[in-house]
Amino acid sequence: MATPLVDWFRREGRDLPWRRAGFPAWGTLVSEIMLQQTQVARVVPRLEQWLTRWPTPAALAADPPSEAVRAWDRLGYPRRALALHAAATAIVERHGGVVPSDVDDLLALPGIGDYTARAVAVFAYGLRHPVVDVNVRRVLARAVLGDGEAGPASAKRDLPLMESVLPADLEGAAATNAAVMELGALVCVSRAPACDVCPIADRCAWRAAGYPSHDGPRAPKQARFAGSDRQVRGLIMAELRASDVPVTVDEIVMVWPDGVQRARALASLLRDGLAAGDDTAGYTLPGH
């Protein structure tokens, strides 16, 4: 499976900053965190701005976390900005400002999970590890297992399955990781996969079986954004990012009419460390 996939990827893969020669490991780490649940088109300009301002972990660690949250702007899930700042600080303190290549060292950084650690080790340093995201799981489920959906994530199943399709050589393994991920993003998509242009259509178990319907457990779906606590959190965060002085409780009241939901959202921001303050002093970004 690897050979046709890599050939296809080298012809059809998108020209993205983190795939270019010489792209720094710090940039790979930043891009992987930004790409979590966020579209590539939204990440690219923000990534370029981020790396211009903070080209190294030390540069980010030298600024307060409030600046990271402010620069995150509207990428969503702003806890990722705090995680990046905490990771940068740990990289400076533990690794002399150099992003580590070892998966265990990466996992020991604040806010870095298994996928991100493996992605940095593979895509920044060329090491041989299986890298599995939602797109990879879907391709493997279809092409190898003959199932139309991947179902819930399972590291015990997914990592060995990806390992089984990786070539032995480092370059081939890294290219295969990227190719499977790209195929899931562009061709083997969740709805209406483009099987007519798929480079491994002739060896896809799902296609050979006649595209049977998925009858197993399904991966959980994200709740609707409109009217959710996530939306209210985002509105409050927008107020905090836009202000250089503490935002008063009366100003926060104006962002959402439902007082119970608004209070719940604000409390969750305080609990997550994304906001600081109280009704008397007003509210600010963390470390402001």
Provide the residue type at 205 as one letter. Answer: A
Under 8 Å CB-to-CB from 259, ≥6 apart: which residues?
253
Strands (E), the chain: 276-278, 282-284
Q: Report in angstroms the alpha-carbon separations of 143 from 12, 184, 198, 207.
A: 19, 11, 11, 8
Q: Report in angstroms the alpha-carbon separations of 288 from 57, 87, 247, 273.
A: 20, 19, 12, 12
Residue among 12, 32, 93, 171 flagged as catalytic: 32
Q: Which two tokens stand for residue 100?
A: 């580590």
Q: Report in angstroms the alpha-carbon separations of 264 from 225, 229, 233, 259.
A: 16, 8, 9, 8
Distance CA 54, CA 31 (A): 13
SS3 113: coil
Strands (E), 128-207: none
Q: Is 171 a catalytic residue?
A: no
Q: Of the candidates 57, 15, 16, 28, which has an alpha carbon nearest to the alpha carbon of residue 125?
A: 28
Give the burial class of 11: count Cβ atoms within 10 A of its Cβ; 0-12 exposed, 13-18 middle, 19 or more buried. exposed
Rounded to 5 degrees, φ, ψ at 285 are -70, 160
Cα angle value 51/88/135 (rounded, 5°):
70
Catalytic center residues = 32
